Structure formats: C-alpha cells, structure tokens
Amino acid sequence: MSIENPKQKEMLEDLLAVCKKNLPRVNEDLITKAFEFAIEAHKHDLRASGEPYFSHPYEVAMIVAEEFPLDDITIVSTLLHDVVEDTDFDLNLMTKEFGTEVTEIVDGVTKISGIFKGQDITKAENYRKMLLSMVKDVRVILVKFADRLHNMRTLEFVSPDKQKRIAQETLEIYAPFANRFGLARVKWELEDLSFKYLNKEMYEDLVRKVKSSRKDRESYIKKFSDPLKKKLDDYNLKYELEGRPKHFYSIYKKMIKRNKPFEEIYDLFAIRIIIDTENSNDCYTTLGIVNQMYLPVPDRFKDYISVPKANMYQSLHTTVIGPLGQRMEVQIRTWDMDKVAEDGIAAHWKYKEDKSTTDKDLDTWLDWMRDIFEGAGKDETRREILEDFKLNLYQDEIYIFTPKGELRRLPIDSTPVDFAFEIHSNVGYQCLGAKINGKIVPLDTPLHSGDQVEIITSKNQHPNKNWLKFVKTQKAKSEQYYTTH
C-alpha cells in the first residue's frame, strides 16, 4: 500500500522528522510500513470524537518519539498497539510482518489494556506491581504511558461516568507509576487532567485563580530575581533562572493538607537556577549568594547534591524570605542534574521517586539497570543496549483477581489451591474445583497475572494429599500437612 491521502503523507513526514531528530537511528521503511499497516487495520474505525481511529495510534507514536525516544522498534510497536485488540489482525500476522520483538511489545500493551476492563481499583499499589509482574520489556510500559496520556487529553469525548472511572484509574495507578519511572512531565499532566475530570469545579476555580494571579506572581518573581541576577553576573556565573510553575493538582493537595484556601498558600512562588557548569561547587556558590541576599527559612534546606536521593536525584533546595515577606522556593542544580530530574528513565535511563516510597526490590533493579547503561561504551547505541534491557522487577510474583475484583498476590506458578488458601483456610479445606476467567480448570493449573479465579467449595470436601505435589505457597503446604497426615 502506498499513501495517497495528502494529510496522511504529511503526518508520516512529521513523525519521521521527529524520529530522526530524537532517535539514535531510524529504519524509515519499517516505520512507514507500520504506519500504512495501522491505517489499513483501523480504516473502518472511528474514535468517540468522530475522528478516524488511526489518529490515536499516530498521536501516541508522536508522544513516544518526543517524550520517550528509545528506538524505532518502540515507534513501530506504538503505531500497531491497538491492532490486535481492536481489529481482525492477529499476533501471528504481526510476527510475520514485523518480527517477534514488535509482537511481544504489542502483546504486552494489549494484555495491560485487558486487565483494567470492568475492574474496580482497590489497592492501587497492587495494580502497579501487577503491571510490572506482567511486563518483561520496559517499552511496553512506556507505550502504555503514552497511550494513557493521549486518552486523557481526549477524554472530553466520552461519557461522564467513563471520564471519572478513567481519571480515577489514571490518578491512582498511572501518575504514581510515571513518577516511579522518573517521567516528571508525564506525571504532572496526568495528575492535572485527572483532577480536571474528578473535581471539575475546584479545578476550574484554581485555573481562574492561578491565571488572575499570574501577573502578580510574575511581577513578584521579577522583583525577587533582578537583584539576584545582578549578583550572579558579578560572580561571572553562567546560568538560566526561570519561574517554576506549580501544577494545579499539587496546589490542590497543599490546600487540603494544610486546610487553607488558595489565597493562603504562599509557597506558590518558586524559581529554579540551572548553572551551566560541570562543577557542583558553583551550585554552592549560588546558594551562598541567595542566602546573602534573602533570609533563609530554618529547616527548609535540603542538600541532595552531597547526598543524592537513592533515585539519583540531585539538587539544592532552599526556601527564603523575599521582598514583602513572601516565601520563595529556590532550586539550584546543573544542566546534567536537571536532565536526570526532569526526563527520567525514558530519555536518560534515570529514575526519580520520593524516598519514602522506595522499594528494596526496585532499588536492586535500578542498580542493575544503571550498571548496564553507565557501563556501556560511548559507541554503543541504545538499540544494542536495549537487547539486554528486560525488566526483572516483580517477575517472581503474580496478581490474581477474586470474583469481586480484589487483587491477591501469589508466587509465580501458583495454582487455584494456593489461591483458595490465600482467601481463607476454610476455602482451602473445602476447595472442590476452580474456574479461571470463567472456565472450569484442573486444580493444578498454573495461574498467570491478571487471571480472575473463582473457587468452587463443598462442605464434604477435604484437602487431598496429591495437592502437596503442586502447591507453591507455604500456607497451602502447611495447612494441608496437618490435615492430611
């Protein structure tokens, strides 16, 4: 198929241009083939907005090329990410046309999409872990982030009920998950878009107030910054000083946490000073200048340069009293530190997370990942490194749904009997049979993340000694041991 439609030709040219700008190398023929394949696959489909469905995978691919510029395989997989789920084309055809690597990524995205259909969110952290337990390649997660971001940007076209459900899911699962991957911009946008649909009145009220106070804020930041810039220039420092925007959802959280109205949230004023240097001592010199000019607020200084966060985040944070007694948050960092803080794993193979939620397994994985990328020679491309870049986080766990949609965590290769004992000892004792995703199965059937399991019980049933041959959990083994010996 060759593209005749002028608009589609222009779309393809735009996508290839962004890819050439951001990717280490680009297989134009493969991307063009995927572009044409997706147009053909979705040619009869429309989005809720009335647009041709292909506009969605295309926009998602543009997000990936701009936000997560890993490799051309990711772009191809993104263009095709809805083909298996929404059309008659299957994985075998995709493997034949585009190879196993693309097929595995598309299959992973399809499975994640299927998990959330018709499920209520209970413990969001379990969902995030479950997603990682299902995914062997980080690119699956990144395609899903981009997919969710575009869906949130176009959420106005679906029903109010669906808006709320998707926004809640995004706020509880995807935004924190994006934060784990260090994707600061994606996290903020997902949070603000979710907030917009979950609390429309408050969101619109904040938008109005932030907009009406913008001139005052800009004027105040100028009043604070001008004398500071003069002093920095006197020290011959090369820098960029910018006002740091506060996001609507983060303002709202502060208002709730402090139980104060918008007008009393004084630390909406914030600046970031990025020093054009490789010498971190210049950051401390800058801090000294700030403290000479403005009174520091006690206990509001954090030195993440000398002692970086476990997630490699580095910056100096301080709060000072500026003109008119207003507080001003100041962050000071180098350009390299800023890249780590802003772009995260996708662009710089870095990671950012609040220390209080650090997960030991996650730290181990991050150390391993860091070794791979920082140990790579300069001539190696990201494509070659990616071949070894497989997620091993939470791969030894599976997450199973109860019929009511609750999630339970089990060891890999667990069976319905393990699940029965996990629910309750009595359910395990009386386990007669099981259904996985609505189909009756043998009790030794291995479970997989995302399965919904229903246990069939009978008061006349007792544990079977044969179960000891296949159960995995200690609870199931020990419970049976005492009842069968």
Taking the C-alpha atoms of residue 233 and residue 479, their distance in angstroms, rounded to an integer, is 73
Paired residues of 327 in beta bridges: 321
Taking the C-alpha atoms of residue 437 and residue 211, their distance in angstroms, rounded to an integer, is 50
Catalytic residues: 85-86
99: left (phi over 0), alpha (psi -120 to 50) or beta: left
Amino acid of residue 467: W
Cβ-contact 469, 411 below 8 angstroms = no
How large is the C-alpha radius of gyration of the chain? 26
Q: Which two tokens stand for residue 270?
A: 């914030």
In degrees and rounded to multiples of 5, residue 52 shows phi and psi of -55, 140
The total of other beta-carbon atoms located within 10 Å of residue 233's CB is 11
The HSE-up count of residue 25 (CA atoms within 13 Å, CB side) is: 7
Amino acid of residue 187: K
Cβ-contact 432, 456 below 8 angstroms = yes
Taking the C-alpha atoms of residue 422 and residue 411, their distance in angstroms, rounded to an integer, is 11
The total of other beta-carbon atoms located within 10 Å of residue 196's CB is 21
HEC string of 409-477 equals EEECCCCHHHHHHHHCHHHHHCEEEEEECCEEECCCCCCCCCCEEEEEECCCCCCCHHHHHCCCCHHHH
Q: Which two tokens stand for residue 100?
A: 């196993």
The HSE-up count of residue 267 (CA atoms within 13 Å, CB side) is: 15
Handedness of CA 445, 446, 452, 456 (dihedral sign): positive
